[in-house]
Structure 1
Amino acid sequence: MSGDNSAGDVYVTLRNLLNSIQCIRDRVRDGESNTSDGAFNLSNFWGTLNQAVKSVSQEVTKISLAFSKPPLPSLQDGEKLADSILKSVLTLSTVYYWLPKSQGVTLRRQIRDATVEVLEGVSQLVEVILSSPLQSLTQDQLTSTGTVWSACDQFTQLPQDNKAAVLVVLSAQTGVVKDALEEIEQALSDAQDPFSDVLDDDEGEEPRGNQDTYWSDKDRQVIGPCQGLMKASTACLRKLTSAVKANGDVTSAQTLAQLDDLADMGKGVSPSVDDLALSLYPPMDYSSVENNVSKLAALLKKLLQIIRSSHVCGEAELVWVQFLDGAVDHNLHKARDLIQQGS
């Protein structure tokens, strides 16, 4: 009977711990950073943050081991474990809050997401321990512990300043846009039917005659300038990445804010390219294609305008900014002309 009471008491301790961690996680996810008008030492911040992350990883290991085999921790030991892990989680969230927006919103978002991932992992581990037979190590518990370790380890890979954080965003966008362009090019080169690889009947029945799965000659003509816009998107992101690498500055509030603006505008490119790419598959709705072409062109011209007025744009960058601006206009007008022919 006493053993049952002990298990029940430890269960209550773990349940309280879980509730506290979830509250901290939600505050980090939705909360604002401290405002800081004074000097902020980014290097000191990283040293303290990495130490806090290391502490969470160590405490997670302790609690996982404690509940992996008999005997069950006593109530007193269970409370000590819960207090230690809660303290480490609170410290991590507190150090995160030290980072002011003035160091760059893009950097702060990436550190916030990494912090939330750790807190979410710790929360899931405690849930697994609660839902598993106490005193037994389950595969779920092993997996959850490993998930927290991985989330903690990724802090060493995080960008160390806002310039590096913006480069992470631009690199991801470039990869997605490049993939979308390659998919369209592959579909065009494969066959007349872009759905042949997913819709062919394996049972050898009559081939289907649905022309809605084929591109007409006009469709293929319209796709040309749409591809041109997608290529301009890739070029713009690649060139912008190089400009940020070469000229990006994190020493003033103005340049930090400009880097954030570039990242925010850059993040809109891949969804807009995806929308255009999807609208190109048959049966092609020309009004939808024209709408997506116009949206992507407007976004690219706005991004090029922001690049032109930012500190990353020197004389060398101005050449490609002007070239791409002209390329966007050319492909936009060509796509519209082709769509409206014969309509």
Structure 2
Amino acid sequence: MSTPSNSDVQAKLRALVDMLVGYLKETNSPKTLQSHENVDGEAIVNDLGKLGIILADNATKVTIACKPPCIPISAIPTIEAMGETLFRISGYIESIPISTGKTLIQIIKSTTEEILFDSAALANSFLDEPVDPSIITSKGYLISTGVVWEACDRFNNLPKSNKQAVITKWEERLELLKDAILEIKKLLDQEDNQGDEDDGWDEIFGESINVTLSTKEKEIVELSLKLFDLVKRLFNKTLKRYIVPLDLPTYNSSNEKEETDGNRSLTKINQTLDQYMDLCKLISDAADELGTSLYPPQDSMAIESKVNDISLHSQELIKVILPFASQEDVNWFNACDTQFKNILAAYHKEE
């Protein structure tokens, strides 16, 4: 058997990069196993954490073996081992059933995508003729190795369940909403302080926007602030009462008394949580776009579209929650629904 050469190493590295580019395309595809099997999310994360440790070790060995001067007889087995680990990770991700929870799966896939990309960048950094930078970019093998280590560590920090995944993402959206509220208040404060003497320092520090709102525009901004505050209260209520404690009593109501399959119950809980999260994203995205539309000159059609989206999706979220709500909370959500209708009517009155 002939002794491997540097060209053999280059061929193995290129094959690894091409394989990972293919895996990235598969990871981005929406396919997920349609199964009601009750899969322990914590067990999945633990398995991925172990694979991440193995991959980090593979990356270290590839770097040592492939850095100049490369020793082909040592480099080839390490490249093959890294490829095998990445093959196992990719296959494992594709085998996770949708009953595990869409939100958790999305986070896992996003983390896996980072790992695949960073691993491809590491292999690409050793190629004499790297692949197109628009596909895979490399920052040198030392930096790339560290990036792979960091990406592998993220496997150990993944949420342990779909509920934890939803809580994490919900809190992120809530923080974005709070930031938007602060920006709207700042816009109104700036308008109220238009008559104050300008000492020039804001412009020096890049903080001077020189916004002047018309009377109508100011009324729209003030209505938007009320809308954002209402959404914030809805998000907080949902998080504290119907996500964190997983308060879904309807699953034990008369409609579910004959349901003895625990797997199916967990699947339904995950589906409900994912439904909450899908609506949260729609509301949050529309709110973000509305916030950027409030600066003059305002586009009334764009604002009306986003206000409608926020209000209607918020009302839809309320409808999804109501079957699980206590009587006290039913009254609260119905009052909240009425407030969304009133704010929406007020917007139309301003048009």
TM-score normalised per structure 1 = 0.83
Aligned partners of 1:336, 1:129: CA distance in 2, in Å? Answer: 61
Counterpart of 1:11? 10
Counterpart of 1:217? 215
Counterpart of 1:323? 335
Cα contact 2:45–2:156 (8 A) shared by 1: no
Aligned partners of 1:314, 1:98: CA distance in 2, in Å? Answer: 38
Match of 1:228 among 207, 226, 230: 226
Amino acid at match of 1:63: V
Cα contact 1:163–1:248 (8 A) shared by 2: no
- Cα distance change on mapping 1:302 and 1:131 into 2, 3 Å: farther
Deviates more, 1:83-92 or 1:42-51: 42-51
- Cα distance change on mapping 1:284 and 1:25 into 2, 3 Å: closer
Give CA deviations for 1:102-152 in whole Å, capped at 9, x if unaligned: 11111111111111111111011111222599xxxx962222111111111
Q: How do 1:36-55 residues align onto structure 2 when only pairs under 5 Å count?
A: 36-55=35-54
Counterpart of 2:24? 25
Counterpart of 2:87? 90
Amino acid at match of 1:82: I
Q: How do 1:167-178 residues align onto structure 2 when only pairs under 5 Å count?
A: 167-178=167-178
Aligned partners of 1:281, 1:67: CA distance in 2, in Å? Answer: 54
Counterpart of 1:186? 186
Aligned partners of 1:38, 1:218: CA distance in 2, in Å? Answer: 56
Match of 1:116 among 89, 102, 113: 113
Cα contact 2:33–2:94 (8 A) shared by 1: yes
Cα contact 1:104–1:162 (8 A) shared by 2: yes
Cα contact 1:162–1:256 (8 A) shared by 2: yes
Q: How do 1:127-166 residues align onto structure 2 when only pairs under 5 Å count?
A: 127-131=124-128, 140-166=140-166
Percent identity of equivalent pairs: 23
Aligned length: 320
In the TM superposition, what is the alpha-carbon distance from 1:166 to its structure 2 partner?
1.1
Q: For structure 2, list consecutive stretches of 5 or more residues without a partner in the other structure.
A: 131-137, 249-262
Match of 2:347 among 335, 339, 343: 335
Cα contact 1:34–1:98 (8 A) shared by 2: yes
Give CA deviations for 1:54-88 in whole Å, capped at 9, x if unaligned: 11111011111222343x122x3222112100111
- Cα distance change on mapping 1:111 and 1:316 into 2, 3 Å: farther
Amino acid at match of 2:227: L
Cα contact 1:173–1:269 (8 A) shared by 2: no
- Cα distance change on mapping 1:267 and 1:324 into 2, 3 Å: same
Aligned partners of 1:245, 1:85: CA distance in 2, in Å? Answer: 39
Cα contact 2:191–2:212 (8 A) shared by 1: no
Counterpart of 2:307? 293
Counterpart of 2:254? none
In the TM superposition, what is the alpha-carbon distance from 1:98 to its structure 2 partner?
2.9
Amino acid at match of 1:68: K
Cα contact 2:38–2:99 (8 A) shared by 1: no
In the TM superposition, what is the alpha-carbon distance from 1:99 to its structure 2 partner?
1.6
Q: How do 1:262-301 residues align onto structure 2 when only pairs under 5 Å count?
A: 262-301=276-315
Q: For structure 1, list consecutive stretches of 5 or more residues without a partner in the other structure.
A: 203-207
Give CA deviations for 1:218-262 in whole Å, capped at 9, x if unaligned: 221222222111111111111111121022569522222111111
Does 1:102 pair with 2:99? yes
Aligned partners of 2:153, 2:79: CA distance in 1, in Å? Answer: 22
Cα contact 1:193–1:215 (8 A) shared by 2: no
Aligned partners of 2:104, 2:43: CA distance in 1, in Å? Answer: 16
- Cα distance change on mapping 1:67 and 1:197 into 2, 3 Å: farther
Amino acid at match of 1:172: E
Give CA deviations for 1:319-341 in whole Å, capped at 9, x if unaligned: 4312321221222222222x24x
Give CA deviations for 1:146-200 in whole Å, capped at 9, x if unaligned: 1111111112221111111111221111111111111111121124699x999x8
Deviates more, 1:234-243 or 1:31-40: 31-40
Does 1:73 pair with 2:71? yes
Please state whether the residue corresponding to 2:296 is helix, strand or coil.
Answer: coil
- Cα distance change on mapping 1:37 and 1:274 into 2, 3 Å: closer
Amino acid at match of 1:236: L
Aligned partners of 1:293, 1:170: CA distance in 2, in Å? Answer: 20
Aligned partners of 1:112, 1:170: CA distance in 2, in Å? Answer: 18
Aligned partners of 1:186, 1:114: CA distance in 2, in Å? Answer: 36
Amino acid at match of 1:77: S
- Cα distance change on mapping 1:77 and 1:106 into 2, 3 Å: same
Deviates more, 1:113-122 or 1:214-223: 214-223
Please state whether the residue corresponding to 2:5 is helix, strand or coil.
Answer: helix
